[in-house]
Amino acid sequence: MDYNLITNNATCHQMIADTVPISLVYYSHIPTAIIALLVGFFVFLKNKKDLLARLLLALSITFSLWLVGNFIVWIMNYNTLLTMVAWSPLGLINAIFFILSLYFVYVFIDKKDISFKVKILLAILSLPIIIMAPTKMNLSGFSMSWCEAMEQDFFLNYVFYFEIFISVWIAILSIQRYLKAKKEVRTQILLLSVGIILFLVSFFGASQIAIYTENFDYELYGLFGMTIFMGFLAYLIVQYHVFNVKLIAAQALVVSMILLVGSQFFFATNSTAIVLTGVTLALSLGFGYMLIRSVKQEVERKEQLQVMADKLAGANDQLRKLDNAKTEFISIASHQLRTPITAIKGFASLLLEGSYGELGDSVKGALEKIYGSSERLVSLIEDLLNVSRIESGRMQFAFEKANVEKLIKELYDNFILIAKTKEFFLELKMPKTPLPEIMMDYTKIRELTSNFIDNALKYTEKGGVTISAELRDSGVIIDENGFVIPNKKSEFGQMIRITVSDTGIGIPKEEIPYLFKKFSRGKDVSRLNVGGTGLGLYVGKAIAEAHHGQVWVESEGDKKGSSFIIEIPVEHIA
């Protein structure tokens, strides 16, 4: 720098000391710079790769540099050369700080780097400041009579309008993004933009007020705006886990508290004050340590929980994929199996009927076995296909107005022979008054009821089965374990209820919650039904639910028989 300066100007130093309380200069600069740097570094060290954390560090370093420069200007006025060296970059640093603030807001809201175009625009706009800052277009010399550097209007004005421009940019950007944002992020955007704008305004406005009123205390007070900004930031960090570092806020708080208390030592004039400051400092250290430790524990616990939750979510995802793959596999395999099995069953039936000529008894016996097995296979395949249809949401329903009495009569006719061969009774209890027709998929409800009757005959050793249908004024509520909630009438409206009761092996209470689940079978049932799959009730439940109805079982327990019930609302739009 080629200024012709007298260094050591004691008069100016004195003059500054007379106009502004020097302790205010210390207070407004030193703790503020330290707090800013601490927050910046803490956040950065924990999130080195995060652009937002880097920007925060850049902001705090820039701000601290400005504070150091400004501090030297205030304190070192007797050394005019140093004052000039410290003063000349202040405008540039100021401008950089505004740019970084804008950058920070962009990244905070958009969660990504700013575009190349915006970077170029900012570089072009700040170029004149970079070029002018080290020249006499910025500071032309040092005025001995005013005790300050002689700032040039063009540079001052350029920086002034530049800062106004950036502030308006930040405001418009925040408003735009706020309006577009979802509710949950709106508060974050609001807090950040209000924090930054308050800070910029207090920082920038205070120095403007100081210039116009020539009372430079204001400029010093303006610096406390940084504390507001840091407060906002700390709040954002804690509240929204912006950097996920609650700990940082606690550490920064404790360190700055200790620094503030510690700085009292410089002002303590008597021994009582020194002792008091010492005690306060010790207490702050103790409490601060405890605070940091407890926050740390909490953060660690939360992090562990998060890791576990993430792992669980991953495993869950994996399971879902496996389950889908399995459903897909079952669907393909079953389709491939169905055609040949149907052919086997068809030809076996033709052979048995004698379409290919008279057969000997032993051949007939073997053919009957083939027929029986292939029938079991067909129904197993049908169950598997139904499961895969339910799980992939491809189960198709054809709703039409249909009659339940007709349905149970048909089923009765189908099963009466089987019941008779087993020496069981099969009773059909028709309602006293005719039932209204309801919208339903006749084939599917028939399939469901048929499975109830089929099971009832299979899981009964003596006695028999009763099929009944009735109209009820309202439906019952079934809890998540499959039990009817007593005394609670729901507002389902009229329901048609079909009940299949038997005098069979019954169902222990503890099995009821699982019965309607996929592949779920009772403990000792294989003895009575070897080929069961545990799929019939699961498919039935899905059919009932597609009709806005419900299925459940009631049983007094082992060997006490059971009643399988389905209810379908009379009025419902399919």
Binding site for ligand ADP (CB under 6 A): 451, 455-456, 459, 502, 504-505, 507, 515, 520-522, 525, 529, 532-538, 562
Q: What are phi and psi of 450, to 5 degrees?
A: -60, -40
Residue 551 C-beta: closest distance to ligand ADP, Å: 11
Q: Which is nearer to ligand ADP, 133 or 456 (CB)?
A: 456
Q: How far apart are the first and last CA of the chain?
A: 88
Q: Which is nearer to ligand ADP, 330 or 525 (CB)?
A: 525
Residue 515 C-beta: closest distance to ligand ADP, Å: 5
Q: What is the DSSP letter of 484?
A: B
3-state secondary structure of 193: helix
Long-range contacts of 171-174 (CB under 8 A, 24+ apart): 171/197, 173/102, 173/105, 173/106, 173/109, 174/105, 174/109
Distance, in Å, from the CA atom of 36 to the CA atom of 66, rounded to the nearest integer, reads 12
Closest by CA position to 42, among listed 252, 234, 355: 252
Q: What is the DSSP letter of 521?
A: -
Distance, in Å, from the CA atom of 76 to the CA atom of 81, rounded to the nearest integer, reads 9
Closest by CA position to 551, among listed 500, 489, 492, 493: 500
Tokens 């030193």 found at: 30
Q: Which is nearer to ligand ADP, 295 or 535 (CB)?
A: 535
Q: Which is nearer to ligand ADP, 456 or 566 (CB)?
A: 456
Residue 189 C-beta: closest distance to ligand ADP, Å: 54
Q: Which is nearer to ligand ADP, 244 or 520 (CB)?
A: 520
Residue 380, number of CB atoms within 10 A of its CB: 17
Distance, in Å, from the CA atom of 136 to the CA atom of 469, rounded to the nearest integer, reads 102
Residues linked to residue 126 through DSSP beta bridges, in sequence order: none
Residue 168, number of CB atoms within 10 A of its CB: 11
Residue 303 C-beta: closest distance to ligand ADP, Å: 45
Q: Which is nearer to ligand ADP, 505 or 566 (CB)?
A: 505
Distance, in Å, from the CA atom of 148 to the CA atom of 219, rounded to the nearest integer, reads 15
Q: Buried (b) or exposed (e) across 275-298, using 16+ Cβ within 10 A?
A: eebeeebeebeeebeebbeebeee
Residue 453 C-beta: closest distance to ligand ADP, Å: 9
Where does 223-270 have alpha helices with state H? 225-240, 246-263
Q: Which is nearer to ligand ADP, 136 or 521 (CB)?
A: 521
Ranked by CB distance to ligand ADP, the top (closest) residue is 522
Q: Which is nearer to ligand ADP, 268 or 416 (CB)?
A: 416
Residue 346 C-beta: closest distance to ligand ADP, Å: 24
Residue 250 C-beta: closest distance to ligand ADP, Å: 57
Q: Which is nearer to ligand ADP, 124 or 530 (CB)?
A: 530
